[in-house]
Chain A
Amino acid sequence: EVQLVESGGGLVQPGRSLRLSCAASGFTFDGYAMHWVRQAQGKGLEWVSGISWDSGSIGYADSVKGRFTISRDNVKKSLYLQMNSLRVEDTALYYCVKDLWFGELHDWGQGTLVTVSS
């Protein structure tokens, strides 16, 4: 059974940094692309970033480009999101998502909540 467990969320002041982690199990982690998707309370889904199985292809939403960095460790079966220069509008539930095939977001974690507030 695929399991994706996010961690690292919390309350942080604007301008500060936070690093999210996603621990994967139940599948061959290094065989799949992975993504981060976020959702602000009461709002829609926003794709944040994606990374190919070998880290050779990476993409970011315009809203986070230059501030967030996605990475993965295939040995540790983990996905990361380094979030710098956080803004109030980054407040959201952040989901770790397994890509089944070129953008088919198949398996979702339960999310970790990031709150940016002074």
Chain B
Amino acid sequence: DIQMTQSPSSLFASVGDRVTITCRASQDIRNDLGWYQQTPGKAPKRLIFAASSLRSGVPSRFSGSGSGTEFTLTINSLQPEDFATYYCLQHNSYPYTFGQGTKLEIK
């Protein structure tokens, strides 16, 4: 099974900051990775697909990069609505696996 290691588990930042979250896969998953955002009490929302493609309607301050085993989610110029928990998900092969999550909090 493919393991996803996500870091950091929590992150404190201010409005306007730039932050980066990393996911590492235990084996090559090509670009079969998505990033999801979850706010309290809500279902997750897909932000990025194919490692670096932005879902329609998602602000351009979000970006993804990487392939193979190393992936990053970058948020430029943080906005108040961006403070949430973020997860990566590998869908290269069953069983799919999420990263442990990164809780982004206001400093």
Contacts and interface: CB of A to CB of B under 8 A. Distances in A.
Interface of A: 35, 37, 44-47, 50, 57, 59-62, 95, 100-106, 108-111
Given A104-B34, A105-B36, A47 B43 contact: no
Contacts of A61: 95
B84 to A, nearest CB: 13
Interface stretch (B12-20, B66-74, B75-83, B86-94): B86-94
A95 B38 contact: no
Interface string B30-53: 001010101000011110010000
B49 A104 contact: yes
B23 to A, nearest CB: 13
Given A44-B100, A103-B34, A105-B34, A59 B95 contact: yes
Interface residues of B, number: 23
Contacts of B95: 47, 59-62
B87 A44 contact: yes
B93 to A, nearest CB: 8
Nearest to A102: B91
Contacts of B49: 100-101, 104
B101 interface: yes
Given A60-B95, A105-B91, 4 more contacts: A60-B94, A103-B32, A104-B91, A109-B43
Contact of B87 (A35, A45, A57): A45
Contacts of A109: 43
Nearest to A101: B49
